[in-house]
């Protein structure tokens, strides 16, 4: 504990040295469970390990085939080897604590992505990237069904945050470079009067390239 030195018995020191290769969280849990110590933190054990020069021998990677030290183990409340204080720090399935509580967004929450699209949280599962989906895509697909492979949606008014399905047109993904500056055109920042012309030219060029097999 901060403010005073922590003493360890010879048996405790010998046990810590013998088990120094454990991940610090597992080492702390097992130590408290074995010796019934509630006055020693994982930080204390890590500092002790460093002071003694007890190398862990680990590379920092979880090796293939390696079995976690606490696999299949439970820690019911009790006395002696099963210290009741260990239960206080365990997480229950689906439980959030600390910063995770403040950062959590409920399903249905909307946000603006770094690229300017409005996104909506659709689930809490994995992978993390799939939790958020563009609202304009959700609304468009509700009317027209899934976007075909090789196609994408293009904002007609250049405002990516406008999620009205009428503002989005289905175009070949290969057409995007002809609208996004590669050919000297900047569709999104062009005036409303010029946008239809840029779109029409891009479609003609794409069609010609598709038919002719060139650029």
- Helices in the chain by DSSP H: which ranges? 10-18, 24-35, 42-52, 84-88, 99-103, 135-144, 195-212
Q: Could you say which architecture CATH assigns to the domain 102-212?
A: Alpha-Beta Complex (3.90)
CA dihedral 159, 164, 169, 170 (to 10 degrees): 120
Q: Which of 115, 113, 114, 92 is nearest to 180 (CA)?
A: 115
Q: What is the mean pLDDT of each run of 10 residues along the chain (215 residues)?
A: 75 90 87 88 89 75 60 57 58 67 89 94 92 97 96 96 97 93 86 95 93 68
At residue 128, φ and ψ (nearest 5 deg) are -60, -35
Q: Locate the domains of the chain by residue range.
A: 10-59+74-88, 102-212
- What integer pLDDT is reported at residue 95 of this predicted model? 67
The CA distance from 129 to 10, in Å, is: 50
What per-residue confidence (pLDDT) applies to 1?
Answer: 42
Rounded to whole angstroms, the Cα distance separating 181 from 36 reads: 67
∠196-197-203 over CA atoms, to 5°?
90
């Amino acid at each position: 504990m901060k403010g005073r030195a922590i003493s360890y018995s010879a048996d405790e020191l010998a046990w810590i040295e013998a088990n120094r290769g454990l991940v610090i969280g597992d080492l702390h849990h097992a130590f408290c469970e074995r010796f019934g110590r509630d006055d020693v933190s994982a930080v204390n054990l890590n500092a002790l390990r460093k002071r003694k020069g007890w190398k862990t021998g680990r590379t920092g990677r979880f090796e293939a085939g390696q079995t976690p030290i606490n696999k299949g183990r439970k820690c019911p409340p009790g006395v002696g080897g099963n210290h009741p204080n260990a239960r206080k720090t365990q997480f229950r399935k689906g439980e959030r604590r600390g910063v995770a509580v403040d950062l959590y967004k409920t399903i249905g929450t909307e946000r603006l992505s770094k690229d300017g699209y409005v996104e909506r949280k659709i689930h809490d599962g994995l992978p993390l990237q799939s939790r958020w989906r563009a609202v304009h895509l959700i609304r468009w697909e509700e009317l027209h069904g899934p976007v075909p492979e090789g196609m994408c949606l293009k904002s007609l008014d250049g405002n990516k945050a406008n999620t009205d399905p009428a503002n989005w047109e289905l175009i070949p993904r290969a057409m995007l470079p002809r609208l996004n500056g590669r050919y000297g055109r900047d569709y999104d920042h062009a005036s409303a009067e010029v946008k239809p012309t840029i779109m029409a030219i891009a479609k003609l060029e794409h069609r010609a390239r598709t038919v002719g097999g060139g650029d």
